[in-house]
A = this chain, B = another copy of it.
């Protein structure tokens, strides 16, 4: 399982412009066959700080997502309004008690 946090920083005056773009991105991504979850949140202290929390079965599913029509069309449109470079973290679950570590 692959967990992803992806953060976008949008100029505050363009939040209303990107909102429908994000909505379409979320809706279409959730329709992807190998998407487990794809949720978007907004920082309570910064209305232009958008945070995706995603779950994919593996890296291949994430790579497929990044090649979809909706991703390739919508992400560059959103990026036109960013105020800083986005960032992302790829993560694995903390091992449960009793599982092999290392």
Query: Chain A residues in contact with chain B, CB under 8 A?
Result: 3, 5, 16, 19, 22-23, 26-27, 39-45, 49-51, 53, 89-95, 97, 101
Contacts and interface: CB of A to CB of B under 8 A. Distances in A.
B22 A90 contact: no
Contact of A53 (B27, B43, B53, B97): B53
A23 B90 contact: no
A97 B53 CA distance: 18
A59 to B, nearest CB: 9
A40 B5 CA distance: 13
B22 A53 contact: no
A42 B94 contact: yes
Contacts of A44: 90-92
